[in-house]
């Protein structure tokens, strides 16, 4: 099957990034130099106009697009394509002063003053109208331009507004959802503390000095925030698509960003893109490499399609607590990591450093120095060259995992908005990433799915800490196992339903006790530094005799499952902690306590072997070295070394170097911070 082409007007790997010529219109020499340097750096695509509203509409109703047209034409004539932004991420000052309603109201219920960015009200009819007008005009002017290949809708949607318009929209959304107050009161369990609503007007968004203890309200407010953000974005998309329905749209997302359920963006966007800013070389650099891989996988999984790396810094950010330089090689490695996980681009923030204001010290391809004889420019150029070389072998391949991890935003909001069993940190995101890391270390590709997603087609599904079972998900899990799938679930799963009402009759609820063959009676929380022990009883191949447990330990009972391991300590010593239940044609494992990484690594390695799940490279991978896989007519293996020093990998058979065309076999030597791209013979 031909892969979806993200940018039909220019079907190639994209290399380039955010370009802000609107800051340099009085410097034609610099604009000219930009083109010269872009060509030198093998840049073929820029994102334009993201924060240019004040230049596009300097006064209300006065539109100036000539400068933008000149820039787009110049770029196009020089072989550089444009992803054109709608400028709604930052409203011009004249507008936010004239129309206060477009400014957000914060949790303290104070309205923002003008300034900053990404802070418009998503509900405001005035702002929606202004944006619609701007987007329509931009589309009429540019959507047919041969150099404009995609829309970049706004910038990094996020945040929440507590203004009266948003609160009213929330109430209407609730009316639509629940129909009656009686239904709402039941779903939110409001008899508790006499918080029963007797009038819709009594409902307010959760804020610190208001209602925070009706957990159903908190989750619904977050659902509404996603809904309203999407509604705003959809209006923008409608405006540009009305002019040219064929020009694809994207929005730049932020991976595990807490406030928005990105899975809901999938059906609205033609292309998923995201902005990756890993803290390379932090104090746990290998974990950071794995975490970044999980972010790429999450973003790819929104549509299960190729995606675009829309932003990344060519050198440093200026907002991290410590803005450490990428070590030589790291930039290329990080860029190829994105490609390895399914990206069709390496784009940067930013092309040229601004001279003033908040991002003047943020990394860029072109420094204030202005020349191409810099380390960063050379590394960027090399990435561009490598992408060109790799395109033929890699562009038409895709990532097709056999393993899926369930990550669900609503589950996250529910678990984290709840109280107990460990208010010092349940660590949902970290737990999901720890499970992902165990596969990353073995070079096993992984997808994410949420509870609206499709499980069929996977051999192995992991549901870490799935506190909430919503939208009939338990039935999906049940069917998956019944039909022969292997399911691994953990502690703190199957506790509450869609509106955070606890399941009655035993956990994991909604029929899943039967699937796992266990009953979870109690959960114990451990203090920092306290541990328990998992003693492995039944020999599961590859497992050690014991593992350290911490933080959360459930007291479960067997109801048909077999115990593979038991607790080693405390009053529940000897009771099961790792169980397996054969159900239908499949198996359901339950891990009742938080275990050290080594457990996940050994346990999943054993399952990967048993289930015949494909690794990118079937060999021993040294610590900090991993392999990723894109499959196609010829499969492509990306071997990546995240250590600063050289590592050697023994290839299982002869392969072809995708860049040199040479045969490689035996020992593959990987310099520090490097990636080798190999083709299966």
Cβ proximity of 93 and 55 under 8 Å: no
Which residue matches tokens 């300097």?
A: 58
Region 341-370 residues binding ligand GLA, contact defined as CB under 6 A: 349, 359, 362
Q: Does 80 bind Zn ion (CB under 5 A)?
A: no
The smaller minimum CB distance to Zn ion, of residues 225 and 532, is found at 225
Q: What three-state secondary structure class fits 611?
A: coil
Residue 168 annotated in active site? no
**Smallest gap, in angstroms, from Cβ of residue 283 to ligand GLA?**
21
**If we measure between CA atoms, which residue out of 246, 440, 210 comes closest to residue 337?**
440
3-state secondary structure of 55: helix
The least CB distance from residue 314 to ligand GLA, in Å, is 11
Nearer to Zn ion, 15 or 104 (CB): 104
DSSP SS3 for 524:
strand
Question: Which is closer to ligand GLA, CB of 311 or CB of 332?
Answer: 311
User: Ramachandran region of residue 312, left (φ > 0), alpha (ψ -120 to 50) or beta?
Assistant: beta
CA diameter of the chain: 76
Residue 105 CB burial class (10 angstroms; 0-12, 13-18, ≥19): buried
Among 81, 122, 277, 458, binds ligand GLA (CB under 6 A): 277
Q: Which is nearer to ligand GLA, 279 or 286 (CB)?
A: 279
Determine which helix (DSSP H) or strand (DSSP E) holds 680, and give its type and residue range. none
Rounded distance, CA 213 to CA 582, Å?
40
Residues 143-182 within binding reach of ligand GLA (CB under 6 A):
155-156
**Binders in 630-659 for ligand GLA, by CB under 6 A:** none
Chain centroid offset of residue 451 CA? 16
Tell me the two tokens of residue 549. 């447990």
* Pick 107 or 582: Cβ nearer Zn ion: 107
Binder among 86, 88, 119, 123 for Zn ion (CB under 5 A): 123
Query: Shortest distance, CB of residue 280 to ligand GLA, whole angstroms?
Result: 14
Q: Which of 57, 211, 311, 398 is catalytic?
A: 311
Residues 52, 90, 121, 481: which binds Zn ion (CB under 5 A)?
Answer: 121
* Separation of alpha carbons 423 and 427, rounded Å: 10
Provide, rounded to whole angstroms, the least separation between the CB of residue 250 and ligand GLA.
13
Residue 166 is a binding residue for Zn ion (CB under 5 A): yes
Q: Give the residue at shortest CB distance from ligand GLA.
A: 275
Judged by beta carbon, residue 275 or residue 450, the one nearer ligand GLA is 275
What is the token pair recorded at 157? 């949607």
Closest CB 318 distance from ligand GLA, rounded Å: 7
551 catalytically annotated: no
Candidates 22, 211, 236, 311: give the one binding ligand GLA (CB under 6 A): 311
Q: Is 163 in the site for Zn ion (CB under 5 A)?
A: yes
Count other Cβ atoms within 10 Å, centred on residue 195.
15
Which of 570, 565, 567, 568 is CA-nearest to residue 580?
Answer: 565
Count of C-beta atoms within a 10 Å radius of residue 613? 20
Catalog residues that contact ligand GLA under the rule CB under 6 A: 155-156, 275, 277, 311, 317, 349, 359, 362
Residues classed as catalytic: 156, 311
Binding site for Zn ion (CB under 5 A): 121, 123, 161, 163, 165-166
């Amino acid at each position: 099957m031909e892969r979806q082409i993200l940018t039909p007007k220019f079907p190639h790997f994209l290399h380039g990034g955010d370009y802000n010529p609107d800051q340099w219109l009085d410097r034609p020499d610099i604009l000219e130099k930009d083109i010269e340097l872009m060509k030198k750096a093998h840049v073929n695509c820029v994102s334009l106009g993201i924060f240019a509203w004040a230049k596009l509409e300097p006064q209300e109703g006065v539109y100036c697009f000539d400068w933008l047209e000149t820039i787009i034409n110049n770029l196009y004539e020089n072989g550089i394509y444009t992803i054109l932004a709608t400028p709604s991420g930052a409203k011009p000052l004249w507008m936010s002063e004239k129309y206060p309603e477009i400014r957000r109201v914060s949790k303290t219920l104070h309205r923002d003053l003008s300034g900053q960015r990404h802070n418009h009200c998503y509900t405001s009819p005035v702002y929606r109208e202004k944006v619609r007008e701007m987007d329509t005009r931009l589309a009429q002017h540019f959507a047919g331009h041969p150099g404009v290949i995609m829309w970049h809708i706004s910038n990094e949607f996020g945040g929440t507004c507590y203004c009266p318009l948003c609160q009213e929209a929330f109430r209407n959304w609730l009316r639509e959802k629940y129909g009656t107050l009686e239904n709402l009161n039941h779903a939110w369990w409001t008899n508790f503390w006499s918080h029963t609503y007797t009038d819709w007007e009594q409902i307010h968004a959760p804020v610190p000095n208001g209602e925070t203890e009706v957990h159903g309200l908190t989750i619904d407010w977050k659902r509404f925030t996603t809904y309203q953000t999407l509604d705003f974005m959809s209006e923008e998309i409608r405006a540009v698509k009305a002019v040219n329905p064929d020009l694809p749209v994207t929005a730049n997302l932020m991976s595990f960003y807490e406030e928005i359920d990105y899975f809901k963006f999938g059906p609205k966007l033609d292309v998923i893109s995201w902005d990756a800013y890993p803290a390379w070389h932090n104090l746990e650099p290998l974990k950071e490499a794995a975490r970044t891989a999980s972010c790429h996988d999450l973003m790819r999984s929104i549509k299960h399609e190729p995606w675009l790396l829309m932003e990344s810094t060519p050198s440093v950010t200026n907002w991290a607590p410590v803005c450490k330089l990428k070590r030589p090689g790291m930039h290329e490695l990080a860029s190829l990591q994105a490609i390895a996980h399914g990206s069709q681009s390496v784009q940067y923030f930013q092309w040229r450093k601004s001279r003033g204001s908040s991002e003047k010290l943020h990394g860029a391809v072109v420094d204030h120095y202005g020349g191409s004889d810099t380390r960063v420019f050379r590394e960027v150029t090399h990435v561009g060259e490598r992408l060109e070389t790799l395109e033929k072998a890699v562009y038409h391949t895709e990532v097709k995992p056999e393993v899926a991890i369930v990550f669900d935003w609503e589950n996250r909001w529910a678990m984290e908005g709840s109280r107990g069993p460990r208010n010092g940190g349940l660590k949902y995101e970290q737990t999901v990433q720890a499970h992902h890391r165990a596969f990353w270390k073995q070079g096993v590709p992984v997808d994410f799915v949420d509870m609206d997603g499709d499980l069929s087609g996977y051999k192995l599904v992991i549901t870490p800490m799935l506190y909430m079972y919503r939208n009939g998900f338990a039935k999906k899990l049940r069917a998956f196992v019944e039909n022969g799938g292997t399911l691994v679930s953990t502690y703190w799963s199957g506790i509450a339903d869609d509106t955070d009402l606890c399941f009655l009759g035993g956990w994991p609820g909604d029929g899943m006790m039967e699937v796992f063959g266990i009953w979870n009676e109690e959960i114990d929380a451990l203090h920092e530094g306290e541990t328990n022990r998992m003693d492995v009883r039944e020999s599961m191949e590859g497992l050690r005799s014991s593992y350290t447990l911490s933080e959360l330990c459930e007291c479960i009972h067997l109801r048909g499952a077999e115990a593979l391991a038991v607790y080693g300590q405390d009053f529940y010593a000897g009771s099961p902690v790792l169980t397996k239940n054969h159900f239908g044609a499949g198996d359901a494992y339950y891990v009742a306590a938080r275990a050290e990484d080594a457990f996940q690594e050994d346990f999943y390695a054993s399952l990967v072997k048993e289930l015949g799940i494909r690794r990118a490279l079937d060999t021993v991978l040294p610590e900090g070295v991993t392999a990723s896989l894109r499959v196609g007519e010829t499969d492509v293996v990306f071997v990546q070394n995240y250590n600063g020093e050289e590592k050697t990998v023994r290839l299982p058979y002869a392969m072809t170097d995708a860049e040199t065309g040479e045969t490689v076999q035996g020992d593959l030597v990987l310099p520090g911070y490097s990636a080798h791209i190999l083709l299966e013979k």
